[in-house]
Structures are given as structure tokens and as C-alpha cells.
Structure 1
Amino acid sequence: METVMRFLIDRDLSGQPLSDEVQPENIGRRQFIRGTGALLGVGLGAGLLGHSSAWAQQPGGELLVSNWGGDWNNNVINALEQPELESKGIKILRDLAAAPARKTKILAERNLPRGSVDVAHFTDADAFELNQQGVLEELDYSKIPNASHLLPGVQKPYFIPFYISGVVLIYNKNKIKTPPTSFADLMNPEYAGKVGLIDQIYFNYFLAMGLLNGGSMSNAEPALEKLRQLKKAVQPRIYPSHQQAAAAMASEEIWITANYNARAAQWKAEGLPVEAAYPKEGAIGFEGGVCMPKRARNKDNAYRYLNAMLLPSVAQKIAKATYYAVPIDNAALPPEMAAIDFTPEQRSRINRVDLGYTAKNQAAWLDWWNKEIKV
């Protein structure tokens, strides 16, 4: 089953942007070179262990992590895996590839006594699909004590979020003096020829524009009329990737778009004169994170990984490296990073995607998008 678009992450810890080819969010990526790596270290602090008897033993052994490659994998190594696991005695092996190949591997191993993957990084959409196929472990939250700090609404029985964001409006503040307030502003005739949309996240536009016409996260049919109106009113420019949309924003080819809040923070940090505007309809939410296959060999170490992932120190590093918000309430991000996050009031109005509905309709939406909007 083809599911919701893949999302996220575009900077490494040195502050350099990634190419769009290595983003978790991108559809049509070239498959990453697969590889493994391992580092050894010593000890594991008792603060990571939680209260389960399964954690009484000293850490050690192996853990196979399935992940995207490129700088995203480097971010995870630097923020989480090396300081919290490898340096404390766990040998991490890495299976790096694009999401479709890694999903196929987990599905192929479903009937084996033991699989090869212990924890896997996916978007919420990919994890939903795998859970529907019955291959993911129902997590024991007593073994993930740091999960007590997860934000309301993000906890799932089979998936722990690691980074979160939402689709908002991003505009050139030098060209648009009155901040936009609604997804309807994308149809403003004053912006004709200056509106940019992005193929990679097209399904978000169905959900966003549907909200303008009585739709919901479980009913995007009203979006069709609004998208036709948008095309007629402003003739939007369609870009294949976030990177190309950023270049168009920099050159002032476009003045406004709808994209992840993290992109606004990133582009602003890179010197573009942009601001994010939270739409009155609410942002369209997104989560990326980690799940555990049922056939995992090293479940104790997998739980250590999930628990460490939710440490404030790890959250701070990931947020700084990627400009994406984090799903815990005790991250204590510094004031200068406030732009990457939503306020509590904005969080309360995030539209959480109905993953089942979106997965069922994505193929039809893509066909309609290509025939009605891109042409």
C-alpha cells in the first residue's frame, strides 16, 4: 500500500544544508548505499534504565538500526547513538536505505523466528502502514520512562516520535507587509505568479485547502474545488523539492508558500527574509520517529534506544541540527530556538492527519494533482 508522503530534515550538525536526495520526506529518492558501522564504549548510566526487570542487566551486545542515510543518519549518530548508546557499551550496526526498501525488508522477515532489524526510523505514515501489516511490536511503555514527557496526542502503541512539525504559511516579509492568516491567502490575486507549491508535500495541500471548504483530516473532497480556484486565481509555480522552493524564495520568484514550520526556521537562519504565519485553520501536523519490529533480536537494547531518544539533551541536539521541533515537554530549548516550535495554543490547534484515510486516497490524489494542478 502506497502511503503518505515522506518528510524531513535538511541540515547536518555543521549547519550545512543536505541535498534533497537524502531527506526522509522525499519521494523518488535514489536508494541510499547500504552500510553498517559499529563503535564500542563503556558503561550505561542508571538514569536510562527505567524500572523493568529486563533492564537489570548491564548494557552490551548489539543493536541493528534501520535508518535513512546521508546527513540525517549523521545527525542521529551525533545526537543520540554515539553519546547515549555506543559510548556506553552497545555495538550499533546500521542498515541504511530509503524507506521503501527498509519497509520491504521488515515485511519479508515477518515469518522468521528472528528478524535482523531492532529499531527502525520512519515517518508516521510508514509506521502506520507497517503496523497495519502486523509487523510492529506493541510497545511496553513501562520500559520507556522518558515517554512520560511526550506531548499530548503524539503517543502511539507502535511508534515513538522523534521530531515533529506542521505545515504553515511562509512568506517574504519584504514583499508581503500584512502577514497572511489563512490557507485562503494562497489564493489572493495580488500574489498571482508569486505562489509556490511543492510536489513532495502535495497531499498536505489537499488537507489544508479542504479545511477552507468544510473538509477535515478525514474528508479532503472539498479541497478539489478550492485547488481549482487557487490555480485559476494565482497560477502557482510547482517545484519538485524544498530546496528548489527555497531558491525561488531567495530570488523572489515566489513570495509565499505553504511548508513545514521547520523550513521557515531554516530558511530564516540562512538569511532569507521570511517569516512563518500560523493559519487560523491550524497547521497540518507531521511526526517522524522510531518503531520496533516484532521480530527484533535485541529488544532490551531497542527499549534503551527508545528511552534515550527522549532525553532532553538528545532533543536539544536534534532540534539544533535540523530546525524541527521535538515531541517532549522537558526539552528546555534555548530562547533563540523558539522559532522552531509552536506555542501551546498553536499545538492545541494542529490538525493531526488521519493516516488511514490519507493512505487510502493518496494514489487518487496524486493522479488528480498531476492532471489538474501541474499541467
Structure 2
Amino acid sequence: MSNTTFTRRELMALGAMAGVLGITGLPKGASAAEKGRIVASILGGDYAELLRRIVDERVMIPAGYEVLQDVSTTEARQTKLRTERNRREASFDVGLLADLDMYPMAQLGVLEDLDETKVPNIANVIPALRKPYAVPQLFSYIAIVYNPAKITTPPTSYNDLWNPEYKGKVGISDVLYVATSAAASLAAGGSMSDYTPGREKLLALKNEQQAKILPTNESIAAAFQSEEIWITLNYVARGFGWRKAGLNLDWAIPSEGAIPVTFEFAVPKNAPNKEGAYAYLNAALEPDSQLGFLDSIGYLPSVTNAVLPPEIAAQVQLTPEQQANLKAIDNAYFSANQADIFDFWTREFKG
């Protein structure tokens, strides 16, 4: 189960970036379908429109492909991958899922092991985000988001959430239970492959720090607005968007390592147009495609050769050292222990 979803406001922000970048429609004289049809199973709304402009019309259609969008939910895409696995052909060529949702599909054996010679832009992907079965399209990371008017010394570690000076002013988003459990483990000296060392930290966060457990990321923003909380763990993409909306916020990269989240593209093993699917993945990793998703809420390119505008880079870009220190979710560990992690969170941390 993914602990990250797009809100409607975020999807609207994605679309706004198209105008900023001056993205246009299909170039005059371009012909389609010379190389066949590609079906991309994706999110809908403004995300779909932006993807159509920056990948389909900018790259794929001029290259001779017809691109159709299959707009569906995460659950529907996973169901299609499961139920179509024994068919001669799947109903789509490229599918989008969050990293935690993509991993179970890979374990089922329904995804193509990517031939990197057919996706040369994989060479530019941030190493911590590389997978043998998927490419990262959107990328953000968990950091410490805080009110600099209340916390004048910037945090440096996840352990700063347990600073007694912030008692009663720590906010925790319930929907980020996976990332928060992982961060607590790192704060306790544990690892991404065992969250149990962080359980005492979580209980101390609730009982000693009197942290406020809020139901959504939107409620975290409201609590910052009212100054009910001063500090939290959240995606920098959200902190960036909240600051643009007028909240006085800053963020710090913890010394233990930021926790990335990615939305990934993968290819079913029985994709009808596998060559086209590889071309689509490669197009999605082009620097201009990646920068097209550097929207007003700060989602980052997952490739190292995309040059960010300086004013945005100064706010959200990780240094090479910070990229190397990214602490990705151990998908195998989480998949095997998800029920236990969720049970502890629900019964003991929240209960």
C-alpha cells in the first residue's frame, strides 16, 4: 500500500507548469502511428494533460508513435497487471505506480526486466532511485519541515523531533506512517530493513513529546497555519507548495539521510508494443521531460543531467552527497512486514 497520493491541488499545480515552460502541442507536419500505438496507464486530470504535452506530443508523436492514455486508479492498474498476466497481450504498454505499489507487481513477475540498452537515459538516473524493473518519473523526499520563526536553529537530525523544547508542537501525518516509522528507526540507530528499533521512539514521541497525530497532510498544513505545530516530517514537495501558498516554512535534510518517494513507469512482460514502451520510458527520462514536472510544489527530476532553475535548485535540490545518502524504503522488508508495521502504528502509536 502506498503512503503517498496526489491531491487535486497538487495535480492542478502540475498543469500550471506547462504554461511556465511554454510547452506547446504537436509540431506541425508531425506524423503519428508509423511505429504503432502505445497505451499508457496513468493518473488522470491535469497530470494526464501535462504528460500528454511534455512526453506524448513533444517526443513520441513526432517520432512516429500514436499514444493513448488509459486513465485509471492505482488499484485498477494493479488489478489489470494481475489478471492479464496470462494473456497473450496486456491492455497497456506502460504503467505508472508509486514505488511501494510497483514492487509487489515486480514480485509477481508481471513486469519486464528492463533492457537498459533500449533506455539509454537510465544511465542518468540518481543511483538510489534505480530499479531493474521500473524507471522513476516523479521524485520527492522526506525531510524535516519546520516553522523558522519558532525554531530558529535549523534541525540537523530526525532526533530533533524529540527535542523537549518542541513538546506539544510536533505534528505527525497519519498517511505517512511508513516514512515516519522508517525515520524513527533511523533516529534510533536502526535501518531501513528493520523498523522495530524505532518503536520506543514513536511511543516517546506520542507520550513524552505529546505529538499531534493528524489525519492528512492538509491537516498538517492547517496546523502550521494556526501554529498548533512547529515541526513535522513531510515531503519537501509539500513544504515547497505550502510555502508558496504563504506559510512561513523551511526544511532540513537530516544527517541520517532523506527518504525518497518516486512514481515509477514500468512495462508489462506482455506489452503489445514493447519497443514503443522502451522509447516512452526513455522519453520520460529526458531532461526536458523531467523539468516539465518540476511543478510549483517542487517535484524533482530523477535524473542528474536536468538543470534546475537556480532559484528552485537553491530551495529543493539535493547535493550529490545528499543524493548518495538517500535512504530508500526497503521494499522487500516492508512488503513482508506491512501488516505488523501498520498494526503497531494503529494499535500502539495511535491507540
Task: State how far apart, in whole Å, the 2-side matches of 1:323 and 1:356 are.
Answer: 28
Instruction: Specify the alignment match of 1:342 in structure 2.
Output: 318
The alignment's C-alpha RMSD in Å is 2.2
Instruction: Specify the alignment match of 1:309 in structure 2.
Output: 284
Task: State how far apart, in whole Å, the 1-side matches of 2:28 and 2:175 are.
Answer: 40
Structure 2 residue 153 is the aligned partner of structure 1 residue 178: yes
Structure 2 residue 335 is the aligned partner of structure 1 residue 359: yes
The one of 222, 228, 237 aligned to 1:262: 237
Instruction: Specify the alignment match of 1:280 in structure 2.
Output: 255
Task: State how far apart, in whole Å, the 1-side matches of 2:130 and 2:111 are.
Answer: 15
Structure 2 residue 84 is the aligned partner of structure 1 residue 112: no
Shift of 1:65: 0.8
Q: Counterparts in 2 of 1:70-81, with a 5 A limit?
A: 70-81=45-56
Task: State how far apart, in whole Å, the 1-side matches of 2:165 and 2:4 are.
Answer: 32
Task: State how far apart, in whole Å, the 2-side matches of 1:15 and 1:320 are.
Answer: 5
Aligned partners of 1:315 and 1:331 also within 8 Å: yes
Instruction: Specify the alignment match of 2:15 in structure 1.
Output: 13
Residue identity opposite 1:14 in structure 2: A
Instruction: Specify the alignment match of 1:131 in structure 2.
Output: 106
Task: State how far apart, in whole Å, the 2-side matches of 1:211 and 1:291 are.
Answer: 30
Shift of 1:90: 2.6
Task: State how far apart, in whole Å, the 1-side matches of 2:35 and 2:317 are.
Answer: 36
Residues 106-148 of structure 1: CA deviation (Å, up to 9, x unaligned): 1100000111110001112222110100000111111112222
Aligned partners of 2:300 and 2:317 also within 8 Å: yes
Residue 234 to residue 115, structure 1, CA distance change in 2 (3 Å): same
Residues 85-111 of structure 1: CA deviation (Å, up to 9, x unaligned): 245543222222221221011110000
Instruction: Specify the alignment match of 2:293 in structure 1.
Output: 318
Task: State how far apart, in whole Å, the 1-side matches of 2:6 and 2:185 are.
Answer: 23
Residue 271 to residue 312, structure 1, CA distance change in 2 (3 Å): same
Shift of 1:15: 6.4
Number of paired residues? Answer: 339
Residue identity opposite 1:208 in structure 2: A
Task: State how far apart, in whole Å, the 2-side matches of 1:138 and 1:277 are.
Answer: 36
Normalised TM-score (structure 1): 0.84
Shift of 1:244: 2.1
Residue identity opposite 1:63 in structure 2: I
Aligned partners of 1:166 and 1:284 also within 8 Å: yes
Q: Counterparts in 2 of 1:192-207, with a 5 A limit?
A: 192-207=167-182
Residue identity opposite 2:151 in structure 1: I
Name stretches of at least 5 consecutive residues in structure 2 with no aligned partner. 19-25
Residue identity opposite 1:356 in structure 2: A
Task: State how far apart, in whole Å, the 1-side matches of 2:338 and 2:39 are.
Answer: 31
Aligned partners of 1:136 and 1:293 also within 8 Å: yes
Instruction: Specify the alignment match of 1:244 in structure 2.
Output: 219
Instruction: Specify the alignment match of 2:23 in structure 1.
Output: none
Residue 79 to residue 233, structure 1, CA distance change in 2 (3 Å): farther
Q: Counterparts in 2 of 1:142-221, with a 5 A limit?
A: 142-221=117-196
Shift of 1:321: 4.8
Task: State how far apart, in whole Å, the 2-side matches of 1:59 and 1:42 are.
Answer: 13
Instruction: Specify the alignment match of 2:202 in structure 1.
Output: 227
Residue 13 to residue 340, structure 1, CA distance change in 2 (3 Å): farther
Residue identity opposite 1:154 in structure 2: L
**More off after superposition, 274-283 vs 263-272:** 263-272
Residues 24-47 of structure 1: CA deviation (Å, up to 9, x unaligned): xxxxxxxxxxxxxxx998548xxx
Structure 2 residue 302 is the aligned partner of structure 1 residue 327: yes
Instruction: Specify the alignment match of 1:373 in structure 2.
Output: 349
Aligned partners of 2:112 and 2:268 also within 8 Å: yes
Residue identity opposite 2:115 in structure 1: D
Aligned partners of 2:16 and 2:295 also within 8 Å: no
Shift of 1:341: 1.8
The one of 80, 94, 97 aligned to 2:69: 94
Q: Counterparts in 2 of 1:30-109, with a 5 A limit?
A: 43=30, 59-86=34-61, 88-109=63-84
The one of 265, 286, 303 aligned to 1:290: 265
Residue 123 to residue 361, structure 1, CA distance change in 2 (3 Å): same
Paired residue secondary structure (1:79): helix
Task: State how far apart, in whole Å, the 2-side matches of 1:41 and 1:77 are.
Answer: 16
Name stretches of at least 5 consecutive residues in structure 1 with no aligned partner. 17-38, 45-56
Task: State how far apart, in whole Å, the 1-side matches of 2:63 and 2:328 are.
Answer: 37
Residue 40 to residue 343, structure 1, CA distance change in 2 (3 Å): closer
